[in-house]
Structure 1
Amino acid sequence: MKGWRRWAAASLAGVGIALAVGGVAGVLIGLGVAAGCVVLFGRLEPAHVRRERATARSDLPFAADLLAAALRAGAPPDRAALAVGEVLGGPVGERLVRAGRALRLGATPEIAWGHLGDLPGGARFARAATRSAEHGLALTRTLDRQASDLRAARAAAAAAAVRRVGVLAIVPVAVCFLPAFVLAGVVPVLVAVVHDVFAVL
């Protein structure tokens, strides 16, 4: 959400709450709601950014495998990055093309592979590729290891998302049953205790 829209929506929410509650308490609660909305709206990602991140998360391990295969076939890193990037497309492919062009123009590995740094898992991928190029390690082994690490991270993220869905599924049930439990179980006991106390007095 753009900056002015975020502030406008937060202000409307705050004013609505302030008018609904009324008085000084309404103003204070409205300010709190407005501030919370600004923070919440600031954390929301546009749909196209979410799709791009999801695509990158699934494509990066595959790109590492393809790069390793191209390097094993004898292609230099710049040509391998360009070829894989052009075939793969998407956010990972675009950044690989940039990395390949940068390598071809003589950029340092850190700058070239750094084009992948803003993708999920891309910063770790870029660091590993840079270290491998700087220290003379076999880049193919590094890419194979990165591909398996990225797949493991993606599987862990998927498992965490499944667990989170399970927890979030309980929330509506709690919201529905907790008031009923309080009204049916706690309130009668409190009324009986208060009645007995006043009867003794």
Structure 2
Amino acid sequence: MEQDTHKRRARLLEWSLTIAIVVVLNLLINVGLQLVVKEPTYEKFCPQTQILDNYSTKDSCLAVGGQWIEGSQAYPPKKVPAPAPTRPDGAFEGTPSYCNPSFTCSQQLQEASKVYNRNVFLVLITAGAVSLLIGFFVTASTAVSLGFTWGGVLSLVVGSVRYWSDMNEYLRFVLLLLVLGVLIWLGIKKLNDLQK
């Protein structure tokens, strides 16, 4: 009975160490990445001023790289028993024209974010692959081996999810094919070695 308790305790400690390695490894990769590669921020591309200008004309809006959205004239209301709301000058109300002054800088931020996400993807995929390989070749401790293996898997998942929407379809296919090939090779090579 005491031996069963000791085995359960040892397994619990192994899994605790494995989970801790997975979490700390991925935190380490991401914090290191933040130190080396700065994420683009809205404030850097679209600086906020204390006094906001009013861009009430199309020309003034376009001059600052804004996007002018034309308003629409509302159709005259149908005859209803109540009087239709009108402006003081008698014109029907519609949607007013307005300016989106941060249009160009927002597009620049989007483009910079795509490049940043691609770079993060490459780092996370590389770190995940290296971690997987370390996990398969570490034989001294099962917990450490599993920690590196699952840490690598998590890094691969996070990297892929982060860049998936911006990734070219052919790159997605090649990436999945490559990862599947490596996993099959590792499964055949290492798991056969463990069974011998």
Which protein has the larger Cα radius of gyration, Structure 1 or Structure 2?
2
TM-score (norm 2): 0.29
TM-score (norm 1): 0.28
If asked which structure has higher relative contact order (CA below 8 Å, sep 6+), I would say 2
